[in-house]
Amino acid sequence: METLLALRALAADRVEITILAPEAKFTNRPMSVDEPFKPKRVRGLKLADVAKEFGAAWQRGTLDRVDHERRVAVTGEGDELPYDQLVLAVGARPEWEWDAKSYCDGHNGEANRLLLHQLREGRISRVAYVKPPGPSWPLPLYDLALKTAADCVAHGRAGVELTLVTPEEEPLAVFGHAVSDAVRRLLENGGIALHTSSYGVMSQEGRLDMSPGDRSIGIDRVVTEPQLTGPIVRGIPFDIDRFVRTDPHGRVPGMEGVFAAGDATTFPVKHGGLAAEQADAVAEVIAASAGADVDPQPFHPVLRGVLLTGGPARYLRADLGGGAGDDSMISAQALWWPPNKIAARYLAPYLSRQTGAAGDVHLPADADAIHVEVDLGELLDRQPAGWAH
């Protein structure tokens, strides 16, 4: 989606775009964590309609292999899609450590809804939120733990024991020390026990062992995430964990005209906003090759995350591209706009326009508004098709 919008904004009609996707709809998956707490289900956007709006062809299907010598992508159904430039945005492959799985991209919304209902009724009282080892994105576990704690307070459920177990040295350590310290306080204030540098291991019914050390806690339910491994696309080289190597502009080495962005790449942090930043770097190279007046910039990872707390959201930011010092930042005020969980240059404004709201929060009242100076020149030059001034 980000690549599509970026290409139309940067290259206009210089390129013909075809989208191959197994899903019929695009859903804002990071916001699926909020679904158990709201009566309204996430509907999503029909990809066929989005493709039509931006002048792209759309085909539903999966990518089976790439025949780069012939410059064709072959679908699982055997269809051949010719290409001059190929962008792989196929995501990572989830692998569950336990059969008792819960939150995963909104696919387990009903399981989480049932868990919440059982907590409210007092049928269960002990829930552990466990991050598995290896690549994954831990923020949804923190979202769920904090929102569940707030929900229990709102429904008068005393005596609930919520625990968060993570192999991270500090909570949400990827964001840096300032964020970790603030998140630790949020968990403590919410009555959520935190175990860092720990791995949760199911030992027997109703018990969760933690290693290293001889520790065990009683549990009624476990909420966890899948470990992520790279997808296998025949014809595309990958590393030992099946992730695809790319250069700073998203090019796949040794395959001219082939790019990759998002969780399928070897970049260790798996996050929708970073995937969009990678997609922007790819789109700039393709637009420039098509004759657009664009100076392609390399991927510079700036991590932006929205932590849902059951109260005011917290906005987290960290520059992962190197530099002096720890620029870790956390705020109750939006640090970017629109303040979506997917902080994407083109996709975030588009999603806000489609939903009729500026992200997941409302503008403050005039009396409390925050003055922000913005250089509109670059924004207007880069605006996606369909934006209004």
What pLDDT does 135 receive?
82
What tokens does 205 get?
A: 């019914």
What pLDDT does 38 receive?
80
What pLDDT does 183 receive?
98
Q: What is the mean pLDDT of residues 183-187?
A: 98
- Considering the segment(s) 95-228 as one domain, its CATH architecture is 3-Layer(bba) Sandwich (3.50)
pLDDT-based confidence at residue 342 (cuts at 50, 70, 90): confident
How far apart (Å, rounded) are the C-alpha atoms in residues 87 and 224?
31
pLDDT-based confidence at residue 147 (cuts at 50, 70, 90): very high
* Span 52-68, pLDDT tens digits: 999 999 999 999 999 99
DSSP result, 203-226: EETTEEEEETTTEEEE-SEEEE--
pLDDT-based confidence at residue 121 (cuts at 50, 70, 90): very high
Amino acid residing at 235: G
2-92+230-363+375-381 placed in CATH 3.50.50.60: yes
Q: Which of 176, 216, 223, 178 lies closest to 198 in space, CA to CA?
A: 216
Q: Is residue 354 scored above 80 in pLDDT?
A: yes
Ranges 41-50, 57-66, 77-86: which has the least confidence: 41-50
> What is the length of the chain?
389
Burial class (CB in 10 A: 0-12, 13-18, 19+), 143: buried
pLDDT-based confidence at residue 190 (cuts at 50, 70, 90): very high
What pLDDT does 377 receive?
45
What pLDDT does 360 receive?
45
What pLDDT does 41 receive?
65
Ranges 22-31, 148-157, 164-173, 272-281: which has the least confidence: 22-31
Q: Which of 220, 225, 227, 226 lies closest to 116 in space, CA to CA?
A: 220
Mean residue pLDDT of the chain comes to 87
What pLDDT does 356 receive?
58
What tokens does 303 get?
A: 């991590």
CA distances 323 to 167, 241, 301, 302, 327, Å, are: 26, 29, 12, 12, 9
* Span 285-299, pLDDT tens digits: 999 999 999 999 999
What pLDDT does 247 receive?
97
Residue spans in the chain of domains classed CATH 3.50.50.60: 2-92+230-363+375-381, 95-228
Ranges 159-173, 198-212, 367-381: which has the least confidence: 367-381
Asked if 297 contacts 123 with a C-beta cutoff of 8 angstroms, the reply is no
Ranges 68-82, 143-157, 345-359, 362-376: which has the least confidence: 362-376
What pLDDT does 34 receive?
81
Q: What is the mean pLDDT of residues 249-261?
A: 97
